[in-house]
Amino acid sequence: MKHIVPVKWLLARLYEPDILIVDCRFQLGQPDAGRKAYEESHIPGAVYIDLEQDLSAPIGEHGGRHPLPSIEELVKRLGRSGISNEQRIVAYDDQGGAMASRLWWILSYLGHSSVYVMEEGLAGWQKAGLPVSADKTVIFPKTFVPQPRPEMLADMQEVKSKLGTVGVTLIDSREAPRYRGEVEPIDPVAGHIPGAINFFWGEGRRADGTWKNGDEQQARFADLSQDDEIIVYCGSGVTATPNVLALQEAGFTRVKLYAGSWSDWISYSENPVAVGGRETISE
């Protein structure tokens, strides 16, 4: 796999000088829980990056529940966390890879070429009987030089302009009941963007928590064309990122993240909303 590394891979490289391990644990609705968990125990040498404080901008009228910060702000935050272009970054969480994938996507979007998500997260590390530490990691600020890849990012206007366009596939990464609009525990409006199809992000992993390999991801996305442009969204641009990663593992190259996602889409009252199963929009 290109972007997923097993626990043993990291163990073998744990003390190599260009490896930086990043703990991305975060629980929605409990914003301090991830940092507290990190302070209690983490992989030795890991630094902590917070979904809301480091990888999101403040919530505004638009942009969704986890708005993407400006490139300038991201660069400052990443540098303060000790991230540079020269390092190999290994991110982990205990949320099935969703939070770690957000960091993976952001760094990839900014042009970093050596970013990985550790398989199974901290639970997998501990299951293997490997050491954890409560020691505070000393962070040496670095300079991160961005080389943005705008082809990886979509905004609301682009998504809206491409609804129903032949050769563009819109993927909703949320669980099926939320996609269908049957339940909505977080956002004020239920449903999905018209024309979107549903691929729940959690189905990119096996029952034991390991990630499906490239062939398995290809089978999962077998009905999609690798020639199409694919735009992926979720509730707020976090759990869509494991699907972006999975699509890349499957060989798809024209994949964009709608960073604002559903929570941004519904912040524009004029935007259409669909409920139920898959819909077809004609041009």
- CA-wise closest residue to 149 among 17, 262, 244: 244
Neighbours of 242 (CB within 10 A): 29
CA atoms 27, 181, 208, 49: torsion sign = negative
Catalytic annotation present for 24: no
Using the structure block, give the residue that is written with the tokens 């003390």.
15
Using the structure block, give the residue that is written with the tokens 């129903």.
164
CA atoms 97, 102, 106, 108: torsion sign = positive
d(Cα 90, Cα 75) in Å, to the nearest integer?
18
What are the structure tokens assigned to 10, written together? 């990291």
d(Cα 54, Cα 123) in Å, to the nearest integer?
23
Catalytic residue selected from 37, 107, 122, 234: 234
List residues with catalytic annotation.
234
